[in-house]
Structure 1
Amino acid sequence: MAKRFLFQNISHKKMDFEQVFSHILHFMKKEPLGNYRLMLGTDSQVHPDHTIFITGIVIQRVGKGAWACFRKERVKRLMTTLHERISYETSLTEEVASLFTEEKKNELIEVVLPHIYKGATFTIEGHIDIGSGERNRTRVYVNEMMARIESLGMEAKIKPDSIVASSYANRYTK
């Protein structure tokens, strides 16, 4: 049996992926001439007896708002090894990305397609909570994690551009 994903946000406590997709589609159809960024990303936080992972889905109409939700996964152990945790974060992002099948992606593209000559755009990004800065301990994993995200046809973003992982998801890991 396939894993059942439940998402939530401020207004909805339990949404399955079909409901999430419906919200995204509705958001885009309200203004098909927009510049849309579908952004997915995961962050984690080690707590005293478990580790919390939050995977965010954000559809942004650049300059004109966004709709977002997240799913929470609790691992009943301390994941203190940096590579294991970052790799698991990336896996969770990949898992949610896989819910956006070719059919679903095409459905979203169809919204903006008639308007691309008027400037409408649509991109899908995978946000990774790592940075390439000299002082960043995660820099050694940048190429590996970016390659994983890019292999799914998403544009990989790292800090400071990985806002869904490093800002939105981070807020709910505490």
Structure 2
Amino acid sequence: MEIDSLKKTFFISPTFGSITFQQVFEKIIEFVKEEPTKNYSLIVGSDSFPGEETVFVTAIIIHRKGSGGRYFYRKIKYEKMNNLKLRIFTEASLSLEIAEALKKKLSENGVSRLPVEIHIDVGKNGATRILVKEVIKMIVGSGYIAVTKPDSFGATKVADRHTN
């Protein structure tokens, strides 16, 4: 997804309500500037819920290590998807799209020092264990840090909270 198409996309913030991708980016920069000497992680994670339609939620989290953070999310509905592999790869693709747009905005604004992690909803146990290597290769091959269960809270806690 290009930044131009993200201009029409709204994210929800528990703190700021409905905001644009540009505003999300500005809020991230403001948050970092509040305490610039702290360490930060910029996390993107997606999760899905298959119901009548399949709901995908992608979360952007700015984590100030040891001092909390802020998050923003967007919801997209697709037709019902029963195939687990397709859902997991769609989640990873949605996260990569947002991560790419963030990385581009960061480099344009001279803030490229923020590392971008992609949290994926796969782990060594459960139904997704057969997909772990493939999904990690997809994320790492795209130039990002891949974080899996049980550490992938961006997908398994934050995005998951908003799938219903």
Give TM-score, length-normalised by structure 1: 0.85
Q: Deviations along 1:85-109, whole A, 9 cap, x unmatched?
A: 0011111101111212445146324
2:131 paired with 1:141? yes
Q: What residue number does 2:34 align with?
A: 30
Deviation at 1:11, TM superposition (A): 3.0
Q: Secondary structure at the match of 2:29?
A: helix
In 2: Cα distance, 1:80 partner to 1:11 partner: 34
Percentage identity across paired residues of the two chains: 35
Q: Distance in 2 between matches of 1:132 and 1:93?
A: 20
After TM superposition, the runs of 4+ consecutive aligned structure 1 residues lying more than 2 A away are: 1-5, 11-14, 105-110
Partner residue, 2:117: 125
Question: Over residues 21-76 of structure 1, what are the superposed CA-to-partner deviations in whole Å (9 max), with x where a residue is unaligned?
Answer: 100000001111111010100000112x111110000000111110111010011x
- The structure richer in strand per residue is 2
Residue 76 of structure 2: SS of its match in structure 1? strand
How far is the alpha carbon of 1:155 from its aligned partner?
A: 0.6
Q: Which amino acid aligns with 2:31?
A: F
Q: Which blocks of at least 5 consecutive residues in structure 1 are unaligned?
A: 111-121
Partner of 1:62: 65
For 1:60 and 1:170, the matched residues in 2 are separated by: 17
Backbone CA RMSD of aligned residues: 1.7
* Residue aligned with 1:80, SS: coil
How many residue pairs were aligned?
159
